Structures are given as structure tokens and as C-alpha cells.
Amino acid sequence: MTLHSRRLKTRRGLLALLTSLLSGYAHAGETARRQSSERLTDHGSRITPFAQVVPGYRLRFPHDEGSHPTFRTEWWYITGWLDTAARTPLGFQITFFRIRPAIDENNPSTFTPRQIIIAHAALSGVGHGKLLHDQRIARAVLGLAGAEEGRTNVWIDDWSLAHEGSNYKARIASRDFVFDLSFAPTQLPLLQGNDGVSRKGPRPESASYYYSMPHLIVAGAVLESGRRVQIQGSAWLDHEWSSSYMDERASGWDWIGINFDGGGALMAFRMRDRAGATFWAGGSYREPSGIRSALAPDQVEFIPLRAWRSPRTGTTYPVAWRVRAGAIEVTIEPLMDDQESDTRASVGAVYWEGAVHALRERKPVGRGYLELTGYGQPLRL
């Protein structure tokens, strides 16, 4: 058996394990979190409930840049645009997920998956014709994968995202490309929602702790097609953690993060129900001066303008939009239509996420990333 075959078999096994563990959350973890801090099950095992998002918590930096292992899900998301010396634009995405399954915490086995790490990476460019994408999944055991508390440091094998000095560093070696990138902050963290508590539905428990780092300056190199290309660009980092992210009525979401020319930053999202209608929305806008405005649900509107149908999955995505967020209105056009990610080998979902232009009166005013989930089938976290 080849190394590639062994890795593929291992990943399939981990995916099956993850699916089984997460499905157990419905009848074990959900019951546990509504009771005391720890309970004894009918089988004699102890299940520690997931921590919950509560109003009034104040995010602490740099401590909250690290992992929060008592929460069910967490992710560090970096998306952005890269420019080569030839001025060829590329879109990129690097994501690390940390998932805590509902298990018996007293199991002494070293291989008990108390935390599971998942990573996605993608590169898009008109010259590619489609999105280049790779993914990994591993249990956080024996140092092969993990997410450190107190500072950003998350990894799977030779894939990593870490805070080194004042910058973030990402090293990703996929089958089709390699990222060796540095991200330098230019602004303070942008707290989403109510001082970092972001509601995702009408119920207070449907929420996340959430902050962003817009306008990161990117430098480094990308290796693709055997060529190492020096790049520069701009990026956006999102860090969220939650135990009850989606309302039970939600089928997916539309999300946009835009770095505006001149220093402004916009994040807007809407949660969709099973009929495709908006039942919750939110976001924030920070002016170049630093003044931040939180956006209420009735201040955010996503209006689809054009759709694209995937030739691989048959899913239709609205890839061009008019977004209204408070006093801001922009048109969103993708760098290219085919930016569909198939992550069924890790998180079991297919979604659209890609680089987009922000236009006003047909003139570019910024660049960002658009994420569309739950269009092929309802998203399950």
C-alpha cells in the first residue's frame, strides 16, 4: 500500500469516526449541556457539557486568540487576495477547525479524540479555470495535530497557522500548491456583534464569540505548477468559537468580508431558513477612522443578481449580489464563478467560497471574500 493510499484510508477512517461522534451529540451532548457541569450517564461514563456563549464576556487579547477547548466548534479563517509581480490576482483561503466531540472524558486511552483538527486550503485564479483545494483531518493526539490555548498556534502535520512575534505565519503544503505566508496586522481586532458576542438567530443561545482582523498585509511566496512566486496582498482573519452556532431552523448562511480601499472594513451575513428566506442577519462596519457600527438584522440585505451552476455537483449558487449594510450598498462580483469547495472528506459539506470584487457604480472600491453554504443541501454543524 502506498503512502498516499494509507493517508487516504486514515482520513476516511477519521471521517467516519468524526461523523459517528458528532451524530452522538444530538442525544448525549445536547442533554449534557443543559444540566450541571458534569453528569453520570446510564452507562456509567461521564460527559462534560460544552461551554456556552454568554452575554457580557469581554474578549481578552492575546489570550482569546488561542484555542477554547471546552466549546464544541472553533475556527480560524484567513481569506484574501494575492498579487504577483505580473499583477496577476489570486484568491486564497486557509482555515483551521477545532471540534470537540461528545465523549467520555474519563476514557484513559491516548487515542481518545478529545479534540479533532480539520484544515482546508484553497487557491483561485482565472488562469486555473477552477478552484484548487485540499483538506486534512486528524485527532489531536501525540503532537500530530493540535490547537494551543493562550495564543494562535494550530496545526496538522506540516500545515500550520501560528502567531509568531507580531505577525501570523501560515505554512501549507498541499498537493497542488504551497503557501509560505506572513500576515502583518494594521488594525486592532474588530469585535463582532455586541462587544464580541455575535447572535446567529433570535434565541440568545444561538451565538458565537467572534472577532476579525481586517486589512492584514500579506507577504511571502506561493508555489504552484512547480514555480515559486513571490506575492504581496491583503487578507482578513476571522476567529469564532461556539457550542450552538446554528438555530435549528437554519439551512445555511451567506457571509461577506470586505477590505475597502482606504481602510474601511465590512462584515455582513444572513442566516437562511429551509425555504431560502432570511430569518436572521447581522454584521459590522468600521470606518477608516476606527469608528465601528454594529448592524442590526433589519439593516442587512442580500439581493442575488446572478447565479452559477456547478458542473460537478449540480448545485446552483448566487455568485453575484447587491449587499446593503446600513448606509453602505455595494455590488459583489466574483473573481471567477467556479470557486466551489468540496470538503466531504473532512467536514462533509460542499459550499461556495471565493474571492470577490466590491463595486460601487461599476467602479472597484474594495476586495473581499464571499461564503455561501447550504445550497446543495442543508448545512449541519
Is the model more confident about 244 or about 330?
Answer: 330
Q: Select the highest-mean-pLDDT range: 44-48, 105-109, 221-225.
A: 221-225
Q: What is the pLDDT of residues 62-85, one digit of tens each?
A: 999 999 999 999 999 999 999 988
Q: Report whether 345 contacts 356 (CB < 8 A).
A: no
Residue 24 in this model has a pLDDT that exceeds 60: no
* The predicted structure's pLDDT at residue 105: 66
More confident of the two residues 114 and 40: 114
- Residue 158 predicted with pLDDT over 80: yes
Position with higher pLDDT, 130 vs 10? 130
How far apart CA 60 and CA 65 sit, in angstroms, is: 8
351 has pLDDT over 70: yes
Per-residue pLDDT tens over the stretch 237-250: 999 999 988 888 88
**Mean pLDDT lowest for which of 99-103, 191-195, 221-225, 353-357?**
99-103
Q: Count the helix, strand and coil residues of the chain and give each as a percent rounded to the nearest 5.
A: 10, 50, 40
CA distance 297 to 254: 13
Q: What is the pLDDT of residues 267-299, one digit of tens each?
A: 999 999 999 999 999 999 999 999 999 999 999
What band does 45 get if pLDDT is binned at 50, 70 and 90? low
Torsion angle of alpha carbons 133, 134, 135, 141, nearest 10°? -150
Enter the pTM of the model: 0.86
Go through the domains of the chain in sequence order and give each one's CATH number: 3-37+48-372 (2.40.370.10)
With 0-12 / 13-18 / 19 or more C-beta atoms within 10 angstroms meaning exposed / middle / buried, residue 1 is exposed
Measure the CA angle with vertex 379, ends 48 and 172; round to 5°: 80
pLDDT of residue 109: 67
pLDDT in tens, 101-152: 877 666 666 667 789 999 999 999 877 777 899 999 999 988 899 999 999 9
Residues contacting 195, CB < 8 A, separation 6+? 58, 59
pLDDT at 381: 64
pLDDT tens-digit readout, 301-317:
999 999 999 999 999 99
Predicted local distance difference test score (pLDDT) of residue 346: 80
